[in-house]
Amino acid sequence: MGDIPTTRLGSTDMDISRIGFGAWAIGGTDWSFSWGPQDDADSVATIHRAVEAGVNWIDTAAVYGLGHSEEVVAKALAGLPEADRPYVFTKAGLVWNANDRASAPKRIMAAASVRRELEDSLRRLRVERIDLYQVHWPDTGAALEFSGQADPDAVPPTPLEEYWQTMADLVEEGKVRAIGLSNHDVPQLEIAESIAHVDAIQPQFSLLKRASAGELSWAAVHHTGGIVYQPLHSGLLTGAFSAERVAALPNDDWRKRFPEFTAELAANLALVEALRPIAAAHGTSVASIAIAWVLAWPGVNGAIVGARRPEQIDSWIDAAAIELTAVDLAGIDSALRATGAGEGPTRP
């Protein structure tokens, strides 16, 4: 087992590695937020490599690959000794149409739906209890779309007070160890906290998406764990992307239709170039610097980093041990301002 720094996840009893394995991309193809084709054997080998390197938690979701990511995680866990098995975090609240895999899933957190999702996740993951069960998005009763278009088939949403009570009930019943909220803002976190403690939050946070600093500050004050997703911003901050590579992405790769990979691409790639000298000074990769920057923020216990092949783990696994200096942080701040890349505060 490798040696990655660990920290306590909020007020839970779990000590987690500062980096967790993100299982979105291993969900495979043929669904609305696919990353394109993925070989399951590669996925299992990649998870095993992450665990060997010291990663002790996996973050997945029922919707990733419409159940397939959880099944692949189960295969990976089955190939590990019991003592080496990582914590398993998953999510509920995005419900798909089994007859139309290409349609966007709906944000639904009705009690019966959540309980059905939980039982399905337990079965797919082949575990008796979920270590951290998270609400993927606030319930709107509508499709998860980012186009701004209304969903004509939306159903009445379940109030946060109701679905958070359902989540708390699952803890009392022993089916989940801890509960969290992903993609919820501070007012929503306050409502949830008045009902049952928010064990963890999971906002998007990276050099390119910095607006969740307020939620992370809230977490630090409330003894709530903070795990953030997309610190490498879906690969853009690895240092391996170019305009040509974006153009060559498969047509079913969701990234091809998002502004970070289209209208904003030039500024984002300019930021990556500005990070290269900082990475060279630390003898590491641009990806590791991007992750280390996220980990430097108060309220962040861990960063979720995805990978699709074992060798990708080696390109950023040192990030958890990198301590950025005041000079590094000032340089990154200047690069963000000069390129205009991303949005939100520019330094911890």
Question: Which residues form the catalytic set?
Answer: 64
Spell out a b/e string for 58-82, using b for 16 or more CB atoms within 10 Å of the CB, else e: bbbbbbbbbbbbbbbbbebbeeeee
Tell me whether strands 6-8 and 15-17 are parallel, antiparallel or unpaired.
antiparallel
Give CA angle at 51 (232, 63), nearest 5°: 60
Q: From CA 283, how far away is CA 57, in angstroms rounded? A: 26
Instruction: Match 């969900």 to its residue by tokens.
Output: 27
Instruction: Match 């009893």 to its residue by tokens.
Output: 13
Name the token pair of 157. 């949403």
Strand partners of residue 303: 19, 228
Q: From CA 287, how far away is CA 268, in angstroms rounded? A: 13
Q: What share of the chain is helix, strand, coil (3-state, %, to 5)?
A: 40, 15, 45
